[in-house]
Amino acid sequence: MTLKKRKIIDGHIHYAHFSYQDSLMAIMDETGIEKLAVVCTPDEARLSLVPDALLLKAAYPDRIYLFGGLDISPLFISPDIAGEAFAHYVDVLLGMGVDGIKMIEGKVQMRKMLPIPDFDARVYAPYWEKMAETKTPLIFHVNDPEEFWDAEKVPAWAREMDWFYGDGTYINNEVQYSQILNVLERHPDLNVTFAHFFFLSAQLDRLAGYFDRFPNMHVDLTPGIEMYFNFASDPDKARAFFIKYQDRILYGTDIGARALLRDRNAGIEQEESLARIEVVRNFLETKGSFRLSHQGFLFGGKEAVFQGIHLPEDVLDKIYFKNFERFSGEKPRPLNSEAIVAECQRLETIIMAMAQVQPGTAGDISSVRKALDYFQS
């Protein structure tokens, strides 16, 4: 990769275990990424990946933004008041010094796995109100690539991940779009970035309509490799769109996704990470076609030809860091040890209780213990 060094914030990185610190930061240093946002998803055995991310943020307080996942246990324990519980949890997360909220709950597979209410259902209202009122940054994964519902078009790697949704038992994108639009209509102040271009990279006119209606809405460029195939089909149109909506698009890569989804023992892999940086940056900066020299996880083969859109420098700066800083603050927020200790103690209790109800699926307290050791001392 021969890309020039420039100021970049990666707004979408996964960090599935505290032991990945050195491998992640080595890649960030090597590729010149100044700051990054860790987006936390729920975890079956450890309930939350927030303690791991807190340890990373404590080690690099000026470089790490942390987007905490919601504690989803209210969906099981008290589903009727889950929205109130989530609203309260926003305070808990912010109190610890988290920078924003990450929701993976709109990923189609998650909708099927967990008893998640419709996003525009009454039960969620207190949570959306809270998020809008406090303008808390939200990175929200809603939907998936359309081809995942199509038996002919679903990529082999998606089938392997169990992401073929065409058997009639999964929610579809249109249902979720309409739920989300209702939420945005009711809460126009919601400060939200939809991950993976809101899965609208093949429908730029439609996305333009949403941007025009909802001034606090953004999207990130985190692959979904389908996004870069879609852009390549009409690079002139993509370029015009990026210039028109240059304030609404954020850089992100999903570095760490492989360790999260596939192989926890492998840590953050350099090859995967470089491929992710390569596709996004080359798309934004290159004039004409390019190929990848690295192999990305969930990218399919390496032989594909992509098209760059060669954006002007000032637009690149917005996409690489200025938009993120406007969305989420110029600096990561400071941590509060006392609040972290209280929450880690609470998580520990819940993890132990869950392990008794469902032996084998839960019960790993290694991360909360590690965080308690660190923040208590």
Compute the least distance from the CB of residue 190 to Zn ion, in Å.
20
Compute the least distance from the CB of residue 14 to Zn ion, in Å.
6
Compute the least distance from the CB of residue 325 to Zn ion, in Å.
20
The secondary element (H helix, E strand) that includes residue 67 is strand 64-69
Return the number of the residue (83 or 224) whose C-beta is nearest Zn ion: 224
Q: What angle do CA 276, 277, 281 make, to 5 degrees?
A: 125
Structure tokens belonging to residue 263: 């192989």
Q: Per CB under 5 A, which region of 163-171, 174-182, 246-254, 314-322 contacts Zn ion?
A: 246-254
Return the number of the residue (144 or 254) whose C-beta is nearest Zn ion: 254
Ramachandran class of 143: left when φ > 0, alpha when ψ lies in -120 to 50, beta otherwise: left
Compute the least distance from the CB of residue 357 to Zn ion, in Å.
29
**Interface with Zn ion in residues 165-204 (CB under 5 A):** none
Structure tokens belonging to residue 157: 């790697």
Q: Per CB under 5 A, which region of 25-33, 77-85, 247-255, 280-288 contacts Zn ion?
A: 247-255
Compute the least distance from the CB of residue 236 to Zn ion, in Å.
29
**Interface with Zn ion in residues 293-322 (CB under 5 A):** none
- Comparing C-alpha atoms, which of 16, 69, 30, 8 is closest to residue 268? 16
Compute the least distance from the CB of residue 358 to Zn ion, in Å.
26
Structure tokens belonging to residue 321: 């860091």
Number of chain residues interacting with Zn ion (CB under 5 A):
1
Structure tokens belonging to residue 25: 């930061």
* Residue 105 engages Zn ion in binding (rule: CB under 5 A): no
Structure tokens belonging to residue 297: 């996880």
Mapping DSSP to helix (H, G, I), strand (E, B) and coil, where does residue 37 land? strand
Compute the least distance from the CB of residue 219 to Zn ion, in Å.
13
- In angstroms, the CA 356 to CA 227 distance is 43
Compute the least distance from the CB of residue 23 to Zn ion, in Å.
18
Return the number of the residue (254 or 285) whose C-beta is nearest Zn ion: 254
Q: What angle do CA 174, 129, 332 make, to 5 degrees?
A: 95
Q: What angle do CA 207, 213, 217 make, to 5 degrees?
A: 65
10 Å Cβ neighbour count for 285? Answer: 18
Return the number of the residue (99 or 254) whose C-beta is nearest Zn ion: 254
- Comparing C-alpha atoms, which of 24, 48, 132 is closest to residue 98? 48
Q: Per CB under 5 A, which region of 29-37, 57-65, 88-96, 252-260 contacts Zn ion?
A: 252-260
Compute the least distance from the CB of residue 85 to Zn ion, in Å.
24
- Taking CB under 5 A as the criterion, the residue among 226, 254, 269, 348 binding Zn ion is 254
Return the number of the residue (290 or 299) whose C-beta is nearest Zn ion: 299
Return the number of the residue (254 or 272) whose C-beta is nearest Zn ion: 254
Ramachandran class of 329: left when φ > 0, alpha when ψ lies in -120 to 50, beta otherwise: left
Return the number of the residue (41 or 73) whose C-beta is nearest Zn ion: 41
Return the number of the residue (298 or 340) whose C-beta is nearest Zn ion: 298
Question: By beta-carbon distance, which residue lies closest to Zn ion?
Answer: 254
Structure tokens belonging to residue 188: 């126009």
Q: Per CB under 5 A, which region of 250-258, 288-296, 312-320, 336-344 contacts Zn ion?
A: 250-258
Contact 52/367 with Cβ under 8 angstroms?
Answer: yes
Q: What angle do CA 97, 100, 103 make, to 5 degrees?
A: 130
- In angstroms, the CA 322 to CA 136 distance is 17
Q: Per CB under 5 A, which region of 127-135, 159-167, 253-261, 262-270 contacts Zn ion?
A: 253-261
User: Could you tell me whether strands 100-106 and 64-69 are parallel, antiparallel, or unpaired per DSSP bridges?
Assistant: parallel
Instruction: Please count the CA atoms within 13 angstroms of the CA of 31 that sit on its side-chain side.
Output: 24
Compute the least distance from the CB of residue 372 to Zn ion, in Å.
27
**Interface with Zn ion in residues 12-31 (CB under 5 A):** none
29 CB burial (10 A radius; 0-12, 13-18, 19+):
exposed
Which positions touch Zn ion (CB under 5 A)? 254
